[in-house]
Amino acid sequence: MSQQSPSPRTEVRRKPQRAHHDPATIRAIIDQALVCQIAFNQGGSVHCLPTACWRDGDFLYIHGANNSRLTQTLLEDECAVSITHLDGLVLARSAFHHSMNYRSVVIYGRFEAEDDPDAKAAAFKAFVEHASPGRSAQVRPPSRAELAGTRLLRIALDEAVAKIRNWGVEDSVEDMAIPVWAGVLPLSLRAGPVQPEAGCAEREPPTLPTFIGFFTRCNG
């Protein structure tokens, strides 16, 4: 994935100052995602479904059961994959200038299947590590039957674009005297308090990915 020029599909016409095409920015947004949304056509209709995701190299990975309609459909046609992090409410003095801070990525292309058992085992290990670093060494790895029954798909990040809004309020000058609180209310995904299975409470709790903070100790 090298530095790209926008394609007709990844050129941002609406608020182009928010667009980013550099791979590092796109990867960083993907790397904080646990779920993506996939838009695809099937049966004469457009669909949009969420699924878990992770990145390895220049590909975004998803998985599904071997007999799933979704994964079969995705192999047959192009799709669009969207990832969005909602980072804050931008609360202005006028209703009109309210906004949201966010980081989003859209990927265009077609998924391909990765059927090699070793590659699948490595990818699913990376998936577990993405959700809880260090965990893959502690859990039972997939059996051959489990690997065989699960389809691994990946899509190249070759045609992708990021959009970011990460700044403050943009009120008009004539609204600045309105005596209301204005500013940004940051939002983030937080974890906790943990809900251990019976017999697990005394064990070392799971490690979180760096992009998710705990809030256990305060208002859990």
Contact status: 122 vs its own copies (CB under 8 A) = no
Using the minimum distance from each CB to its own copies, give the nearer residue, 58 or 175. Answer: 175
3-state secondary structure of 78: coil
Contact status: 72 vs its own copies (CB under 8 A) = no
Which residues contact residue 147 at a Cβ distance below 8 angstroms, ignoring those fewer than 6 apart? 117, 120, 121, 124
Contact status: 93 vs its own copies (CB under 8 A) = yes
Q: How far is the CB of 82 from its own copies (least distance, A)?
A: 4
Contacting its own copies within 126-165 (CB under 8 A): 128, 131-132, 135-136, 138-143, 146, 150
Rounded CA-CA distance 59/141 in Å is: 22
Contact status: 17 vs its own copies (CB under 8 A) = no
Contact status: 179 vs its own copies (CB under 8 A) = yes
Q: Report the residue from 58, 113, 122, 214 that binds its own copies according to the rule CB under 8 A.
A: 214
Contact status: 29 vs its own copies (CB under 8 A) = no
Are 206 and 132 in contact, with CB atoms under 8 Å apart?
Answer: yes
Binding part of the chain for its own copies, among 18-26, 61-69, 111-119 by CB under 8 A, reads 61-69
Using the minimum distance from each CB to its own copies, give the nearer residue, 24 or 35. Answer: 35
Binding part of the chain for its own copies, among 17-25, 54-62, 111-119, 202-210 by CB under 8 A, reads 202-210
Q: How far is the CB of 169 from its own copies (least distance, A)?
A: 6
3-state secondary structure of 127: helix
Rounded CA-CA distance 30/62 in Å is: 12
Question: Which one-letter amino acid corresponds to residue 134?
Answer: G
Peptide bond before residue 186 is cis, with ω within 30 degrees of 0: no
Peptide bond before residue 133 is cis, with ω within 30 degrees of 0: no
Contact status: 210 vs its own copies (CB under 8 A) = no
Closest CA to 59 of 85, 91, 26, 87: 26
